[in-house]
Amino acid sequence: MRPRLLALVCVSATLLGGCGLLPGGSAERQTVTVWLMRHSASQDYLDRFTEDFERRHPDIDVDIRIQDWTGIGEKVQRALGDEESDGPDVIEVGNTQVTQYAEGQKLLDLTLESLRDWDGNDWLPGLAEPGKWGSRQYGIPWYAANRVVIYRKDLFRQAGITELPKTRDEWLAVTEQLNTGGTQGIYLAGQDWYTLAGFIWEEGGELAEERDGVWHGALDSPAALRGMDFYRRLQALGDGPVDADEEHPPQAGVFAEGKVAQIVAVPGVVSAVLKENPDLEGELGYFPVPGRKEGRPGAVFTGGSDLVIPAVTDQRKAAVTVVSELVGTKWNTDLARTMNYVPNKTTLADTVGGEEAVAAMAAGAARGRATPSTPEWGRVEADNPIKDFMTKVLKGADPAEEGRRASRRITEALEVDIH
């Protein structure tokens, strides 16, 4: 909370011995208002955190206010620009949203704290990199979730598969073996561009590259085209629609109702699968998306949240203290265990090793990435040329030509409007 009446309080208090000090009293308590997104943390976790924090920091109260994702972008922008409001001092934001909020110096630069106090070099790259703008760290990694392969143990057994694939070549071979007798080896929608992004990064390619301060689409690079070719070969081992994404229809429903051996998704999808088909309880397993080489999982898109502090806050020191506790080892591992997330540091992966789904995520998260770190990236997703590129290639169009066309559209979308 931003105490806008502090000056008046100080004037009155000086008559009694100083600002915040009354005869027989104690220092003025501070309130840190924290905006967290609905379902990011359980109420039990938040209650335990608040009680522990306030016990160990008796001069700080924590006021957690739950927000909905719908419309949150505009609400955050208003809060960042309104110095007179009783606004938030700490905000949870999507990891790929940080740069659009940092633009215009609306967030506190937390680079020093990151390196000095929070062991920022150990953070998951898929959370830390999009939390930067230029060389400065504005978003502090909180938790992650990334795609893994969710598979049907019974269908693997029926196909005689006793070992999970550890490389992309093995994955293709296993999927081809599963793709028979009415069973889809994998259900992979043709426009699942988050999964494609991982394949492109695994080949050393990029969705877009920055050169001399200007962003350019990069889907026409040899590495990106190799990633698309792997996607094409894998997608063909099932009946996923080539002109729709993973939500049309929802792949959880397809996985639940049909004979589909594998999907690529975050483990949270499983709750929806089991709701539609409880008979699959105990028959679903997880492994990291395989990479090109054995012993190293494939690159994946990392989703999750960072914590930011508005530049207009009057509670900088107290807000930093709250962030420090939330991203620290104790409460970050507690959150990961409570919510089945990946902790914010690669060094904490072993703390969730007992859960098969989370362990698979944590293994992949070490090689996680996010979308290009530019405030304009939202324009790309609004009129997504990556999806069009994928569909056209899967329908037989020339990949190089379509890659060049999609790259031009990405470049145009990322042009900075200086007027």
How does the average pLDDT of the chain come out, rounded? 91
Greater pLDDT, 256 or 353: 256
Report pTM. 0.84
Tokens matching residue 277 = 């088909």
- Indicate the pLDDT class of residue 48, thresholds 50, 70 and 90: very high
DSSP for 171-226, written as a single string: HHHHHHHHS-TT-BS----TT-HHHHHHHHHHTT--SEEEETTEEEE-TTSHHHHH
Do β-strands 30-37 and 60-67 pair in parallel, antiparallel, or remain unpaired?
parallel
Q: Is the pLDDT of residue 12 over 90?
A: no
The amino acid that residue 58 corresponds to is P
Q: How much of the chain exceeds pLDDT 90, in percent?
A: 81
Selected residue with higher pLDDT from 265 and 258: 265
Summarised one tens digit per residue, pLDDT across range 23-35 is 444 557 899 999 9
pLDDT at 18 > cutoff 60: no
Per-residue pLDDT reduced to its tens digit, 227-249: 999 999 999 999 999 999 999 99
Q: Give the CA dihedral 168, 347, 368, 117, nearest 10 degrees.
A: -170
pLDDT tens column, 319-331 = 999 999 999 999 9
The gap between the terminal CA atoms of the chain, to the nearest Å, is 36
The average pLDDT across 251-276 equals 94
Pairing status of strand 140-146 against strand 214-217: unpaired
User: What are φ and ψ of residue 297, in 5° steps?
Assistant: -60, 160
Residue 258 reports pLDDT greater than 90: no
Helical residues (DSSP H) of 328-369, grouped into ranges = 329-339, 356-365
Average pLDDT estimate for 196-206: 98
pLDDT at 353: 74
- Please state the rounded mean pLDDT for residues 328-353: 91
> How many other CB atoms are there within 10 angstroms of residue 222's CB atom?
12
Instruction: Return the pLDDT at 382.
Output: 87
Phi, psi of 266 (to 5 degrees): -75, 145
Cβ-based burial of 24 (10 A; exposed 0-12, middle 13-18, buried ≥19): exposed
Contacts of 49 (CB under 8 A, 6+ apart): 62, 325, 326, 331, 334
- Pairing type for strands 262-265 and 148-152 reads antiparallel
DSSP class of residue 122 equals G
